[in-house]
Structure 1
């Protein structure tokens, strides 16, 4: 059995490529992952939701218009329709025809190359628990023989709770854009091993509180050198960035 991921055993690299390659390629596509890898990244973040027929696939928004040739709510369409959409032309002509990425395709790519993955569970509104369950079960199936599991994260406590109930051995992280009154207690109640915060929320006090409570500390989305150096000096554990062309993860 692989060693459980926790504060004492944290196998993930510090640098994480946001949505594959940040803004250099169409986000959440295989082309983005390949470009991020060419820039030296070995850990990636992506957004995963469900099609109408429960196929996990990569997409950030609830709707299709911004990053594909489709229209309407993505989760209302079956995968065979979604798979035919163009998810590259919106970015630039060089990526015209790039399809939406099935989660299994991205998983296989990461496993084949020994890359690490941060899966943000991104439910279609109203499907929070169901999405958490399906994504966790698929992740467990795909990584069943892997030495290091993926990290499951979400802004949605219902999705994380469902993921925990389905696959309690997969590590989880709570995403936060603000620190509510019970931010640490919420993460503890969900059995999380990490807090993934808007980078502006981390300071000496909040990092100390999180570490005292036994959490790893990650940040999104860090795109300037001064912020990255401040977070490193604070002793945080992970930096999610769009600037895969600016930050060298091997240095």
Structure 2
């Protein structure tokens, strides 16, 4: 997914400070108790009371009448630096059922959270992540670019992220940004297994080959295909790749919202990206999508509150068996 366009720095700093107040203190966030009811396994609640999202052996589809799952894009990236533990913590505190993050390998083969091919935009360093060692990445400041309060925030490894989710609660939608061969994908899958998170991770990519490699290595992990534009036949593509999720851009889905019903009939969920306004949330909820990827998970959850009592009619079937 494309780099996020951020708010002007003064407003962003104020929002970041507000987020830190909510957490109690940024430095102490990791020591704070996890949220009650955090998802910890297959078929468990997201903890918000809004939607039950099942992972692992079940498809990530929603029950009729439930609002779409809230997926925090790179964490709560409107309130904290993207792809960091701080953004993950704020997203978790907001009640997001899933954290969405990007993974790339360092020069020495260690998976780290990073969207861009280079570290230039989101750290105080320069250069391609593939040319930097894990130690070099760890030395970078990944927070000051966003707001001064996040100075000293580090680029997390995938191991650090998954350990945090495993112990404190939450599920992960992980996007593989680049993998040159199956061995690099294996480095990612190995960490997911070591952290005992296979039932709480979904893997997505724009590159179908990445998904084929994941399927070979870990057929138990659900797969999602990211798309900027809709395929001529999304159902056929989903069946060929054995997808659990077909994840289009919101602008693409708006051109043919009927594809949601078609995918549901084939047993495939639809998580749309990246929607950040009430008008978009409402429109795509009415399309029947199963999940909304957003930079503003807390605001989306607040938007969904009345929908739990009044109910927005769902246009697509849910809860289908695999």
TM-score by shorter chain over 0.5: yes
Structure 1 CA distance for aligned equivalents of residues 213 and 101 of structure 2: 19
Match of 1:99 among 137, 154, 157: 154
Contact 2:95 2:298 in 1 (8 A): no
May I ask how many residue pairs the two structures share in their alignment? 246
Residues 25-47 of structure 1: CA deviation (Å, up to 9, x unaligned): 11000111112222222321000
Q: 2:205 maps to which residue?
A: 154
Post-superposition offset of 1:233:
1.6
Post-superposition offset of 1:245:
4.2
**Residue 243 of structure 2 corresponds to residue 188 of structure 1:** no
Residues 96-141 of structure 1: CA deviation (Å, up to 9, x unaligned): 11010111111011111221110111116xx254433322232133
Please give the residue correspondences for 1:1-251 in structure 2 after superposition, counting only pairs within 5 Å.
4-6=57-59, 14-123=69-178, 127=180, 129-143=182-196, 148-202=199-253, 203-248=256-301, 251=305
Post-superposition offset of 1:166:
0.8
Distance 1:198 1:100, change over 3 A: same
Query: What secondary structure, in the 3-state scheme, does the structure 1 residue paired with 2:122 have?
Result: coil
Larger radius of gyration: 2
Q: CA RMSD in A?
A: 2.3
Which stretch of the first structure deviates more once superposed, 174-183 or 223-232?
A: 174-183
TM-score (norm 2): 0.71
Distance 1:8 1:155, change over 3 A: closer
Distance 1:6 1:42, change over 3 A: closer
Contact 2:234 2:263 in 1 (8 A): no
Contact 1:131 1:159 in 2 (8 A): no
Q: Mind listing any 5+ residue stretches in structure 1 that lack a counterpart?
A: none
Q: Mind listing any 5+ residue stretches in structure 2 that lack a counterpart?
A: 1-40, 43-55, 306-322
Query: What secondary structure, in the 3-state scheme, does the structure 2 residue paired with 1:186 have?
Result: helix
Structure 1 CA distance for aligned equivalents of residues 266 and 89 of structure 2: 36
Query: What secondary structure, in the 3-state scheme, does the structure 2 residue paired with 1:218 have?
Result: strand
Post-superposition offset of 1:191:
1.7
Provide runs of 4+ in structure 1 moved above 3 Å.
7-10, 128-131
Post-superposition offset of 1:208:
1.5
